[in-house]
Amino acid sequence: MHASLHDRRQRLLAQLGDAIAVLSTAPEVIRNADAHYPYRADSHFLYLTGFAEPEAVLVLDGKTGRSLLFCRDKNPDSEIWDGFRYGPAAAREAFGFDEAYSIGELDQRLPALLGDRAALYWNVGRNAAWDARVGSWLEGARQQARFGVAAPAQYGDVLALVDEMRLIKDAREIAVLQQAGRISAEGHVRAMQTCRPGMAEYEIEAELLYHFVRHGARQPAYESIVAGGANACTLHYAANNARLNDGELLLVDAGCEFMGYAGDITRTFPVNGRFSAAQRDVYEVVLAAQLAAIARVQPGARLDEAADAALAVLVRGMLDLKLLRGTVDGVIESGEYRRFYMHGIGHFIGLDVHDVGVRKNGGQWRAFEPGMCTTIEPGLYIRPDETVPQAFHNIGIRIEDNVLVTASGHQVYTDDVPKSIDDIEALMQQH
Ligand code: GLY
Ligand code: MN
Ligand code: MN
């Protein structure tokens, strides 16, 4: 166990006061027949426990300051088929809980644990069956009233508390995120080096996944987008089964999940290794927008300042390229730019690719703080349209990096893959 797990639970306990918190991990999900999707623990649960087995529940008791795990028992027969499980005793030892019990004892023990706690926090409203089960423990706690034991009368969402903690990454998380970023970036380099006209999109996807798995990242953080030519104008393109044509661009949006943490990188490059004049023109706009936004990522700057910096560059470019007419302010005011740029500048990243943390407080955009990690990912997507110069038809470009806010500014930790036109062409010419 690493020390930060204990520290995170202590910090949450300190916020609970006399309250008690109950938090379950994610269920296993059937893919078809009796085959499961790869199991992935709930991110909040993982953050607080490090415990990755299914069928597990964490209880944090603010009144006693103790942390309790409920998990699957050891089971020699099941372990022959499905592999090792800790069982309560070994899990308590390995992950630093004060107490650990069989998950089979959960319904029996919880009503008593809720007694004389002022408030109950749980992961509310994500799963109806789980909410009902929590309700049954509350009812059990209320049955103790005749013995002079009070049931909690206030309820809250424990995840809202954990979200704020997860938003500011600790030193260990930063190291793992940087590693996820590095492996993801190397996968993109491999994709650029391999790409040739005539290949299929899935062949490039295979290069990425090969590199991820080779480096211990068994899963991508999300379905990889490998979108040649016009497919790049579909934001969440996932078919990845078209041919890559000479003269077209390839947009690759892919990142690995390493030790639970996500990488999320996009690069757009020419299938044949050389940008055309029109591709170059659009690319330079998107790159300038991305660099302008990244420059605003620093402690104290608000999230919308980065977004606005990118938008101003993109709209200036749309006007220069004659995609739109008018003035920068007019086009921003009217929202016309959304024809070509219809998503946000980015999102927090961490255990989830679209990570937790509210972006506004009381209607105000929040400011960057050291330890936040965000993506910066502007794009331009030009669908065919007679009002648009034909040379730009079907060009879709996004450039995405992952950025850590540091005490003095920021660190782009996914820059092991080139993004300037010269650097991309140089890398692709080497092969
Ligand atoms: N790949 C998902 C995103 O960029 O947000
Ligand atoms: Mn992405
Ligand atoms: Mn992203």
In this prediction, residues 189-194 reach a mean pLDDT of 98
Residue 264 catalytic? yes
**In this structure, how many other beta carbons lie within 10 angstroms of the beta carbon of residue 87?**
17
User: Is residue 44 flagged as an active site residue?
Assistant: no
What is the Å distance from ligand 2's center to 385 Cα? 26
Looking at the CA of residue 346, tell me the nearest atom of ligand 1.
5
How far apart are alpha carbons 327 and 321 in whole angstroms?
13
Average pLDDT over residues 240-266: 98
Query: Which residue's CA is the nearest one to ligand 1's atom 3?
Result: 264
Among residues 61, 186, 377, 401, the one annotated as catalytic is 377
Pocket probe mutation, ligand 1, options 223, 345, 347, max atoms within 8 Å of Cβ = 347
Work out the pLDDT band at 1, boundaries 50, 70, 90: confident
Q: Which residues surround ligand 3, an ion (CB under 5 A)?
A: 264, 375
Whole-number average pLDDT of the chain: 97
Residue of 343, 366, 383, 393 marked active site: 343
Closest residue CA from atom 4 of ligand 1: 264
> Rounded mean pLDDT of 299-318?
98
Position 3 scores a pLDDT of: 80
| Phi, psi for residue 60 in degrees, rounded to 5 | -115, 120
Tell me the H-state helices in 277-356: 277-295, 303-320, 328-334
Q: Which one is catalytic: 92, 190, 211, 398?
A: 398
Distance CA 409, CA 287 (A): 20
- Find the 261 Cα to ligand 1 centroid distance in Å: 14
- Is there a catalytic annotation at residue 336? no
343 noted as active-site residue: yes
Q: Are 19 and 152 in contact (CB under 8 A)?
A: yes
- The pLDDT value recorded for residue 89 is 98
The single residue of 352, 381, 410, 413 carrying the catalytic annotation is 381
Ligand 1 atom at minimum distance from 343 CA: 5
Check: CB of residue 321 under 8 Å from CB of residue 284.
no
Q: How far apart are CA 45 and CA 144, in angstroms?
A: 29
CA of 253 to the centre of ligand 2 (A): 5
Residue 238, pLDDT > 70, answer yes
- pLDDT band for position 431 (cuts 50, 70, 90): low
Question: Is the per-residue pLDDT at 388 higher than 70?
Answer: yes
Question: Which residue out of 188, 205, 222, 267 has the highest number of ligand 1 atoms within 8 Å of its CB and is therefore the one to mutate?
Answer: 222
Tell how far the Cα of 217 is from the centroid of ligand 1, in angstroms: 18
Question: Residue 120: helix, strand or coil by DSSP?
Answer: strand
Task: Tell me what percent of the residues of the chain surpass a pLDDT of 90.
Answer: 98
Residues with CB under 6 A from ligand 1: 222, 253, 264, 347, 353, 377, 400
Mutate to test the pocket of ligand 1, among 219, 257, 264 (most ligand atoms within 8 A of CB): 264
Write down the pTM of the prediction: 0.97
**Which tens digit of pLDDT belongs to each residue from 30-77?**
999 999 999 999 999 999 999 999 999 999 999 999 999 999 999 999
Active site residue 393: no
Task: Give me ligand 3 centre to Cα 222, in Å.
Answer: 10
Residue 2: active-site member = no
Counting from 1 in the atom list of ligand 1, the atom nearest the Cα of 347 is 5
Tokens linked to 280: 């170059």
According to the model, what pLDDT value does residue 198 have?
98
Question: 28 catalytic, yes or no?
Answer: no
Contact 409, 298 (CB under 8 A): yes
Of all residues in the chain, the percent with pLDDT exceeding 70 is 100
The domains found in the chain, sorted by start residue, are 3-166 (3.40.350.10), 168-430 (3.90.230.10)
**Exactly one of 354, 359, 366, 393 is catalytic; which is it?**
354
Band (pLDDT 50/70/90 cuts) for residue 2 is confident
145 pLDDT above the threshold of 90: no
Question: Any catalytic annotation for residue 410?
Answer: no
Candidates 2, 236, 325, 338; catalytic one: 236
Mean pLDDT of 10-29: 96
Q: Are 162 and 47 in contact (CB under 8 A)?
A: yes
- Does position 92 have pLDDT exceeding 70, yes or no? yes
Query: Rounded to the nearest 10 degrees, what angle do helices 3-16 and 171-194 cross at?
Result: 120
Q: E strand or H helix at 250, and its extent?
A: strand 249-254
